[in-house]
Amino acid sequence: MPELPEVETTRRGIEPHLEGRTITALTVRQPKLRWPIPEQLADWVVNARVSSVTRRGKYLLIHLPNGAVMIHLGMSGSLYMVSAEQPAAFHDHVDLVLDSGMALRLTDPRRFGSVLWQPLGESHSLLEKLGPEPLSSDFSAGYLQQRCAGRKQAIKQFIMNSQVVVGVGNIYANEALFNAGIHPKRAAGNISAERLSRFVDEIKAVLARAIEQGGTTLKDFVGGDGKPGYFKQQLNVYGRGGQLCNHCKSTLKEIRLGQRSTVYCPECQH
């Protein structure tokens, strides 16, 4: 599943091609995604000018004068720019055609993504309960301490809750916990303020590094497959269960938490 850095890289890749452009047509080949594409979507978007492309959590919002097209990539979705004349492949479900002659194309083999509409001045129900952005000042040590107080849930599951903070997916939760020296099963309410402060710093750092490294993939959004993939970075624990810890050379352990693979060092994380 694309995580926050991959979605942010997608936003940065497509925005220069959409901003200031007018949508001249909407082509929906498969309306049945995770939720049905609104039948009136063409009425709302055609002949509207794109003012900006923003991100909220893992949702991309294409802003128009009367609202925003809200896209989620789901498990397997991707967006890329193509010539409006380029024939669609089997899993190419939606095109937003622009006055430049290009089209923003959504491909989604598993159809867990979504294309929805948020009217101007309203907040879509899927966005209303989202926690703060992890790279914003709203996500602070004080905020996390307040949210963790008294909580018995394992910290890894707690931090991956989008109502606590958005976009800290499995890869980056594993890495930030390792960097902060926190055992993934430790109860959220049983971690000191000092360690939570370091955890916040490590979450911000690991996400910022991934987004920065994703910048080299931006060319792929035109004429490519639109998939930046998981960025080539030095992962300390994710995907390395059974291997040696880069720091202490102990064997990394792999367990399941919330049905997600979780890798940690039994010596470095407590």
pLDDT at 111: 94
Are residues 203 and 123 part of one domain? no
Are residues 121 and 14 part of one domain? yes
Confirm whether 97 is domain-assigned: yes
Are residues 86 and 162 part of one domain? no
- What is the 8-class DSSP label of residue 203? H
With a cut of 50, say whether residue 106 has pLDDT above it: yes
Are residues 116 and 174 part of one domain? no
Q: Residue 225 — very low, low, confident or very high, per pLDDT cuts 50/70/90?
A: low
Confirm whether 216 is domain-assigned: yes
Q: Which of 97, 128, 159 is the last residue of a domain?
A: 128
Angle between helices 193-214 and 4-18 (to 10 degrees): 40
With a cut of 60, say whether residue 224 has pLDDT above it: no
Q: What is the CATH number of the domain that holds 184?
A: 1.10.8.50
pLDDT at 191: 97
pLDDT in tens, 45-88: 999 999 999 999 999 999 999 999 999 999 888 898 999 999 99
Domain with 172, as residue range(s), is 141-264
Are residues 208 and 231 part of one domain? yes
pLDDT in tens, 124-150: 999 999 999 999 999 999 999 999 999
Are residues 98 and 70 part of one domain? yes
pLDDT at 232: 54
Confirm whether 237 is domain-assigned: yes
Are residues 177 and 66 part of one domain? no
Q: What is the CATH number of the domain that holds 98?
A: 3.20.190.10
Phi, psi of 193 (to 5 degrees): -60, -40
Other CB atoms within a 10 A radius of the CB of residue 173 amount to 24
Are residues 123 and 8 part of one domain? yes
Q: Which of 128, 159, 180 is the last residue of a domain?
A: 128
Q: What is the mean pLDDT of residues 97-119?
A: 96
Binding residues: 91, 110, 151
Are residues 161 and 123 part of one domain? no
pLDDT at 227: 57
**pLDDT above 90 covers what percent of the chain?**
82
Q: Burial level of 147, CB count in 10 A (0-12/13-18/19+)?
A: buried
Confirm whether 270 is domain-assigned: no
Are residues 119 and 18 part of one domain? yes
**Residues annotated catalytic, as ranges:** 2-3, 58, 260
Binding residues for DNA: 91, 110, 151
- Residue 95 CA, chain-centre distance (Å), reads 21
Q: What is the mean pLDDT of residues 157-185?
A: 96
**pLDDT above 70 covers what percent of the chain?**
93
Are residues 246 and 149 part of one domain? yes
Are residues 121 and 40 part of one domain? yes
Q: Which two tokens stand for residue 257?
A: 């938490």
Question: How many structural domains does the chain have?
Answer: 2
